[in-house]
Structure 1
Amino acid sequence: MKDILIISNYYPPEKGAAANRIEQLALKLDQNGYSVSVISPLPNYPKGELFPEYKGKFSVTEKIENITLKRLWIYPSNSSNIFKRIVSTLSFSTTLFFYLLFAKTPQKVIVQSPPLLLSFTAVFALWIRRKKIILNVSDLWPTAAIELGVLKKNSISHKFLRLIERFIYKKANHIFGQSNEIINHIHSIFPEKKCFLYRNYPDHFIDNVLQEKHNSNEPIKLFYAGLLGVAQGVFELIQELDLKHLNVELHIFGDGAERIEILNYLNHNPNAKIIFHGMLERNVLHETLQNLDIALVPLKTRIYGSVPSKIFEYTALGFPVLYFGGGEGENIVEENNLGWVVPVEDFKGLNNALKQISEVGKEEIQNMKKNIFLHAKSHFSLDEQMKQLIENDAF
């Protein structure tokens, strides 16, 4: 049996796209004959505090769904204080570094990036141990940090992170990129580096989406489900929406830094036609979403290299997408006829799109759902992607 290790900052029971996609990668490798182990911090995301069952422990080893999990100590924090966040990242990075230096680990290792500091620590330790390093790049840092306004271009911090970025690309044996933009960026630095496109395809297709379930008397139910953070900009978005005279309502599922601001806004605007549901377990969320109509996928600004996994996750459930994020994700929605595209930050255009959606009607949306589900099932197959990667010796 082939042994392989995955290093990630997130893993279930933590919630969110990052944890889900790493779990899917681990499970698919297991299904394809690999003996898979995962190293991650003690679960603490998104609240920035250890889950009750892990409190008071320095490390935990457990086996879930045939995956061996090694969870290492972290000082958890989701504080807005940058110093506390750095300390939190450094705490796990330090624990991970010494573990990788001295523990027995497989020869092949997949390292998730970002976080950039964590991936640097892992790659550095693995390089010392002469391991085969497979870097899985989901977003480009520090490029994304500049576009989000978190870093100032050409600052000392920016230059330092660029050095780290170059180091991990250079030392990786080969690289997975979730978008063509990521691969193009890496090739602009290291033209000969072997790269593979690895989309964040889901592993769920619910065939009962093809059943007739719409009620023409109900409003069209748009939903956002995911992290309520700076990059998504949901708080700004809901302030710009004008649903008052439309046959549309918005449902919000999730948690994150903007949660309190969103709740305060909705308390002061009870007629906004926006309903907040909070965070739900993934299986409960998918069950709840079956009664809704269209997935809203926003980004606060166009982030080079970013393709939100929600595009694939929700089209696999049969939902048309209202995409409001620009970049390669916009091209995917348009080229695959998955719904509506609005230029990023164009709130006037967003409200115009909502007017069009309001006039479409539930029956037409149900027809769209069927077509999108069948297209996603045939074009966004995680099993087929894994098969091709294995055949091309990507693992």
Structure 2
Amino acid sequence: MQKEILLITNYFPPEKGAAANRMHSIAENLGKAGYKVKVICPLPNYPSGEIFEGYRGKLSISEKTTFGEVSRLWTWPSNSTNKFIRLLSMLSFSLSLAVFFIFRKTPKTIFIQYSPVFIGFTAVCLGKIFSKKIILNVSDLWPLAGLEMGILNKGFYYTILLKMERYCYKKSDLIVGQSEEILHHISKLEDKKPLFLYRNIPNFKVPKINDRASSKEVKIVYAGLLGVAQGIFEICEKITFPQNVSFHIYGAGPDAERLKSLQSKNVYFYGEVDRAVLHTELKKYDLAFVPLVNRIYGSVPSKIFEYTRLGLPILYFAGGEGGKIIAKESLGWVIPVNNTKKLQEFINTVSENELYTYPKEKVQNIAVSVFNFEKQFKAFISAIETV
């Protein structure tokens, strides 16, 4: 009898981003491993906060895929910074999720993308009500991350979120975390709970490294979400790029409009492009920039694993576990988080010669060797089959 598993996530392609890419990769590779996979997600709307073209006006839609079936459910989308509006948006998908469980047959094992908190909590509650085996995927330590980013404040609402977080940990049969810090945090709350480290390692074909053009210009690239946590606009305002250094930006998010209007020397904004196109574009650049405004406990930006597989050394400006990985594996330069003075000093002094400290081919070879998707996924399958 074919094994079945249900994946519940708030993010899934055609949406872009680390969570959507990770969940699609898990679904696809579970299918290759012999599982019949079902995915429940909202009608696509991230990060614009508007339902994508082709999905508008629908209450739900089911799509057949190579790995199984994707059920996209109604949601009231929003990317508002207003907490009440965002809460209503999350509750709308939670309601759709509950209706789906009541009226549709679902597999015995469910894999839940935890965060947003309300959706993860709803899925765990439904899992317990319907006697499911629950695998919880924790990619961010909400609500702690919200507190560190300044989005949340301690008080009644924060306390409720904490109780929901701990309920989810307690009721799960296996917890999968994207960083050692996440697993350490959970182990302090649930010391006997089975835990599994699952890095955001991509699985695309390793591209050939292009020879660097004979140019003295150093080209730095950022590609990803343009939001409050990344602070790309503020960095562009604070940092001056000398004549031999240029900064190139790809992505979408709340700061996109401000970046379009930015008139800054040697800063270029290209908007959002398809992932396959982006991988081709990234070959042009010398190093990749990974920033966060504040160090967020538990966060390891997935860009580390994607960029280095492409052969790009990392200019890391985000703090925490990610910086330790960069330093340990010799994958690039680590600047203390939020220290714009040190960042400016690096940019002022970086030169063509500096790039030979971390040559592209060496960075790619390390990434392929250390961050092995097949090895990790095989261990992951073993972990979920013991639940």
What TM-score comes out, normalization by structure 2 length? Answer: 0.96
Alpha-carbon deviations, 1:248-292, whole Å to 9, x = none? 11000001011122223x23x3x2x11000000111111111111
Q: 1:322 aligns with which of 315, 318, 325?
A: 315
Supply the distance in 2 between the matched residues of 1:80 and 1:186 (Cα, whole angstroms). 28
Alpha-carbon contact 2:217-2:352 (below 8 Å) kept: no
Aligned pairs for 1:98-117 within 5 A:
98-117=99-118
How many Å apart are 1:361 and its aligned residue? 5.4
- Letter in structure 1 aligned against 2:241: L
How many Å apart are 1:218 and its aligned residue? 5.1
Q: 1:274 aligns with which of 267, 273, 279?
A: 267
Alpha-carbon contact 1:42-1:54 (below 8 Å) kept: yes
**Residues 1:323 and 1:394: Cα distance change in structure 2 (over 3 Å):** farther
Supply the distance in 2 between the matched residues of 1:318 and 1:281 (Cα, whole angstroms). 19
**Partner residue, 2:276:** 283
Supply the distance in 2 between the matched residues of 1:130 and 1:66 (Cα, whole angstroms). 24
Partner of 1:48, secondary structure, is coil
Alpha-carbon deviations, 1:32-52, whole Å to 9, x = none? 111111100001111111112
**Partner residue, 2:219:** 221
Alpha-carbon contact 2:221-2:248 (below 8 Å) kept: yes
Supply the distance in 2 between the matched residues of 1:361 and 1:116 (Cα, whole angstroms). 43
- Letter in structure 2 aligned against 1:54: Y
Alpha-carbon deviations, 1:185-221, whole Å to 9, x = none? 0011111111000101001243312x42x11225111
Q: 1:242 aligns with which of 240, 265, 271?
A: 240
Is 1:163 equivalent to 2:160 in the alignment? no
Alpha-carbon contact 1:101-1:129 (below 8 Å) kept: no
Alpha-carbon contact 1:202-1:313 (below 8 Å) kept: yes
Partner of 2:359, secondary structure, is helix
Structure 2 unaligned runs (5+)? Answer: none
Q: 1:384 aligns with which of 363, 367, 375?
A: 375
Supply the distance in 1 between the matched residues of 2:307 and 2:68 (Cα, whole angstroms). 26
Is 1:256 equivalent to 2:253 in the alignment? yes
**Partner residue, 2:196:** 196
Supply the distance in 1 between the matched residues of 2:233 and 2:193 (Cα, whole angstroms). 40
Alpha-carbon contact 1:101-1:126 (below 8 Å) kept: no
Alpha-carbon deviations, 1:111-145, whole Å to 9, x = none? 00111110000000111001000000000000001
Partner of 1:217, secondary structure, is coil
- Letter in structure 2 aligned against 1:104: K
Partner of 1:186, secondary structure, is helix
Supply the distance in 2 between the matched residues of 1:33 and 1:67 (Cα, whole angstroms). 11
Supply the distance in 2 between the matched residues of 1:353 and 1:388 (Cα, whole angstroms). 40
Structure 1 unaligned runs (5+)? Answer: none
How many Å apart are 1:377 and its aligned residue? 0.8
Partner of 1:83, secondary structure, is helix
Supply the distance in 1 between the matched residues of 2:350 and 2:382 (Cα, whole angstroms). 43
Aligned pairs for 1:77-226 within 5 A:
77-153=78-154, 155-209=155-209, 211-212=210-211, 214-217=212-215, 219-226=217-224
Partner of 1:52, secondary structure, is coil
Alpha-carbon contact 1:220-1:361 (below 8 Å) kept: no
- Letter in structure 2 aligned against 1:199: R
Supply the distance in 2 between the matched residues of 1:101 and 1:394 (Cα, whole angstroms). 27
Supply the distance in 1 between the matched residues of 2:382 and 2:109 (Cα, whole angstroms). 16
How many Å apart are 1:97 and its aligned residue? 1.6
How many Å apart are 1:359 and its aligned residue? 5.0
**Partner residue, 1:336:** 329
- Letter in structure 2 aligned against 1:326: G
Partner of 1:44, secondary structure, is coil
How many Å apart are 1:224 and its aligned residue? 0.5
Alpha-carbon contact 1:297-1:325 (below 8 Å) kept: yes
Supply the distance in 2 between the matched residues of 1:136 and 1:285 (Cα, whole angstroms). 27
How many Å apart are 1:388 and its aligned residue? 1.6
- Letter in structure 1 aligned against 2:160: F
Number of aligned pairs?
385
How many Å apart are 1:394 and its aligned residue? 5.7
Q: CA RMSD in A?
A: 1.4
- Give the percent of matched residue pairs that are identical in Structure 1 and Structure 2: 46
How many Å apart are 1:31 and its aligned residue? 1.2
Alpha-carbon deviations, 1:9-47, whole Å to 9, x = none? 011111112111110111111111111111000011111
Alpha-carbon contact 1:235-1:262 (below 8 Å) kept: yes
Partner of 1:278, secondary structure, is coil
**Residues 1:360 and 1:378: Cα distance change in structure 2 (over 3 Å):** same
How many Å apart are 1:351 and its aligned residue? 1.4
Supply the distance in 2 between the matched residues of 1:138 and 1:120 (Cα, whole angstroms). 14
Partner of 2:326, secondary structure, is helix
Alpha-carbon contact 1:201-1:312 (below 8 Å) kept: yes
Partner of 1:139, secondary structure, is coil
